[in-house]
Structures are given as structure tokens and as C-alpha cells.
Structure 1
Amino acid sequence: MGRRTLVAVARPDGRYDCRSAHWGVDADPVVQSRPLGTGLTASAFLTAIDATYEQLVVLDGSVRTYAVCWLDPTLSDLDDIVLARTADPDTFRRWWVDRKDEACRVLDSDGCGPETVRRALLASLRDRASSVHCPDDASFLRGDR
């Protein structure tokens, strides 16, 4: 099964090269991905991220991995995401899928509103991840400070 990954490669000029991999990346994210765009500003790079990706890898001298977490319990807004930093993407992804499935069941069976379920999902992420970034916050590209 595919594991769509977006890769941000920092350039010395403060811009980013954007790459994509359908089967995920591990040892060498550049070799395992294909180019999508070069010389992107941080804000331009942010527009490439949506819920169709499972993870984001940032290369800037170090390698940081973020899970792309789709918050929308109605499964309709692909841009309703946050990025959760994780050292163990596979374990985190399994936890997130289970948590999201449970949240969607609550939405269907308990009559909780979508915004209540969304807030609960976001709180769960903040408790579990080492950092959580909203899609309009490009600070993750410069590292977690």
C-alpha cells in the first residue's frame, strides 16, 4: 500500500525544493522521491500539503518527519490538517488511524458535532506528538524551536 510523502529540501537561499514519493521514504528521501517544484518559498511549499499525503519529511541538515493528520471528521475538507512531529512515523500513523476511526464513529453514533470531534482530535495530537503545526505555520520548516 502506498504511503504518499512530501519532501522539503532546504536550499541555502532560504527556499525549498519540493519532492514527492508514492511509497514513502526512509534511508535517502531525495533518491526515493521525484521533483515537484524547485525554489519554492515557505508559503508556496505550504500550499502543496493536504490530507492526500501521509507524511512530510524536511531535510535541512537534519531529517525531521511529520505525520500529516487530517482533522476533518466529515472527511470533506482536504485542507483541514495539522503536521505532527514524530520520531516513529509507523507507530504514530497506526495510533492516528485508530484515533481518527474512533472519532468518526463517535460523530456517527453519539451525535457529537464535527467541531467537537475535531477539537478532541487536535487535543489528542497535542498530547501525543512532540510538536503540532497548523498548515499556515511554516515554522516547522526551520525546525522545532
Structure 2
Amino acid sequence: MGRRTLVAVARPDGRYDCRIAHWGVGADPIAQSRPLGTGLTASAARTVIDATYDQLVVLDGAVRTYVVCWLDPTLSDLDDVVLARTADPDAFRRWWVERKDEACRALDSDGCDPATVRRALLTSLRNRASSVHCLDDASFLRGDR
């Protein structure tokens, strides 16, 4: 199964070269991806990320991996995502898919309020991930400071 991955490579001028891999990346994210955009500002790099991605890998001297987590339980807003930093993205992704499926079933069968379900999903993420980042700021591109 594919694992669509965005690779953001920091440049010395504070911009980012973005790359895409459809099958995920391993030890060499650059060799395993192809160019998507060069010289992007942090803001522009953020706008590339949506729920169609499975993960984000940031290269800036270190390698940080984030799982892209789609919060919208109605499955209609592709931009309603957060990034969850984790040392084991595969295990985290499996947990997240199960958790999201449970939330969507609760929404369908129990008639739960979508905003309440979304808040519960976000709380679950914050309790499980090393860090959780919303896309409205670019701090995840600069590391977890």
C-alpha cells in the first residue's frame, strides 16, 4: 500500500525544497522522493500538506517524522489536519487509523456532534504523540522547541 510522504528539506536561506514519495521513505528520503517545489517559504510549505498525505519528513540537519492526522470526522475537510511527531510512524499510523475509524463509527451510529468527536480525536493524539502541531504555524519545520 502507498504511503504518500512529503519531504521538506531546509535550505540555509530559511526556505524549503519539498519532495514527494508515493511509497514512503526510509534511510534516504531524498533518494526515495522526487521534486515537488523548490525555494518555498515555510508558509508555502505548510499549504502543501493536507489529508491526502500519510506523513511528513523534515530534514534540517536532523530527521523528524510526523504522521499527518486527519481530524475531520465528517471526512469532508481535507485541510483539517495536525502533525503528530513519533519515533515509530508505522505503529502510530495503525493506532491512528483504528482510532479515527472508531470515531467515525460513533459519529454515524450514535449521532455524536462532529465538533465533540474532533476534540476527542485531538485529545487522543496529544496523549499519544511526542508532540502535536497544527498547520497554522510553521514551528514543526523548525523542530520541537
Q: TM-score, normalised by structure 1?
A: 0.99
Could you list the runs of 5+ residues in structure 1 that have no partner in the other structure? none
For residue 36 of structure 2, give the secondary structure of its aligned residue in structure 1: strand
2:55 maps to what in 1?
A: 55
In 1, the alpha carbon distance for the partners of 2:113 and 2:21 equals 35
Aligned CA-pair RMSD: 0.4
Q: What is the number of residues matched between the two proteins?
A: 145
Give, in whole Å, the separation in 2 of the partners of 1:135 and 1:74.
19
Which sits farther off after the overlay, 106-115 or 92-101? 106-115
Deviation at 1:88, TM superposition (A): 0.2
Q: Percent identity?
A: 87
Instruction: Look up the match of 1:67.
Output: 67
Counterpart of 1:24, as a letter, is G
Matching of residue 80 in structure 1 with residue 67 in structure 2: no
State the match for 1:106 in structure 2: 106
Alignment of 1:5-16 (within 5 A): 5-16=5-16
SS of structure 2 residue aligned to 1:17: strand
Paired with 1:142 and 1:74, the residues of 2 have a C-alpha distance of: 31
What is the correspondence of 1:28-43 to structure 2 with a 5 Å cutoff?
28-43=28-43
Deviation, 1:123, is 0.2
SS at structure 2 position matched to 1:47 = helix
Asked if 1:27 is matched to 2:39, the reply is: no
Which of 108-117 and 118-127 deviates more? Answer: 108-117
